[in-house]
């Protein structure tokens, strides 16, 4: 499965944006400074976020990014899928040649990984950006 820094940074950055949810756009430079993430790396990540219509961009001075929708509508699955391609545990396509093609034992674990995938996606589907920042402020009190 795939759950890398790119995904974590994407969530962090968007949560940051949601937290500082001004009307005006947020520049990657600000996020970079606040969250300690490389600016150029953020650019890469936000390029994908934009393609997936999670954020909108505004160019030029005073430009930046704004969330495309309210924090409560943006589910984490969408974010993670955007930057990581997908959350995939199944790898049986490759292995169908060897062992997975039901000769004696079919890929016994096939279903397991599928279930896990569903389980994880469920988890992220239930979480929105709003949940994250709510939790964070609650804890700070």
Partner DNA sequence: GTATACTTGACTGATTTTGTCGGGTATATA
Partner DNA sequence: TATATACCCGACAAAATCAGTCAAGTATAC
54 binds a copy of itself (CB under 8 A): no
Burial degree of 65 (CB within 10 A; 0-12, 13-18, 19+): buried
Residue 2 CA, distance from chain mean position: 11
- Residues that bind a copy of itself (rule: CB under 8 A) add up to a total of 43
Among 5, 24, 70, 73, binds a copy of itself (CB under 8 A): 5
Distance CA 49, CA 67 (A): 10
72 binds a copy of itself (CB under 8 A): no
Q: Which stretch binds a copy of itself (CB under 8 A): 42-50, 51-59, 65-73, 110-118?
A: 110-118
User: Pattern 63-82, binding to DNA, x per CB under 7 A?
Assistant: xxx-----------------
Shortest approach of DNA to residue 77 CB, angstroms? Answer: 17
Enter the tokens of residue 132: 């994250």
Shortest approach of a copy of itself to residue 59 CB, angstroms? Answer: 26
22 binds a copy of itself (CB under 8 A): no
Of these partners, a copy of itself, DNA, none, which one is at the site of residue 104 (CB under 5 to 8 Å by kind)? a copy of itself
Closest to 123 measured CA to CA, from 45, 11, 20, 17: 11
* 1-60 positions binding DNA, by CB under 7 A: 2, 4-6, 9, 25-29, 37-41, 43-44, 46-47, 50-51, 57-60
29 binds a copy of itself (CB under 8 A): no
| Long-range CB contacts (within 8 A, 24+) of 110-119 | 113/89, 114/89, 114/90, 116/1, 116/89, 117/1, 117/87, 117/88, 117/89, 117/90
């Amino acid at each position: 499965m795939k759950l890398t820094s790119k995904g974590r940074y994407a969530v962090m950055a968007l949560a940051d944006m949601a937290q500082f949810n001004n009307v005006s756009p947020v520049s990657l430079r600000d996020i970079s400074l606040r969250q300690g993430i490389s600016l150029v790396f953020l650019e890469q990540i936000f390029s994908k976020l934009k393609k997936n219509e999670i954020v909108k961009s505004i160019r030029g001075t005073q430009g930046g990014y704004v969330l495309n929708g309210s924090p409560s509508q943006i589910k984490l699955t969408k974010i993670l899928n955007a930057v990581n391609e997908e959350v995939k545990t199944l790898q049986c396509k490759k292995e169908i040649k060897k062992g997975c093609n039901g000769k004696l034992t079919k890929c016994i674990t096939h279903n397991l990984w599928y279930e896990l995938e569903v389980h994880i996606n469920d988890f992220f589907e239930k979480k929105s950006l709003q949940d994250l920042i709510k939790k964070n402020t609650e804890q700070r009190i």
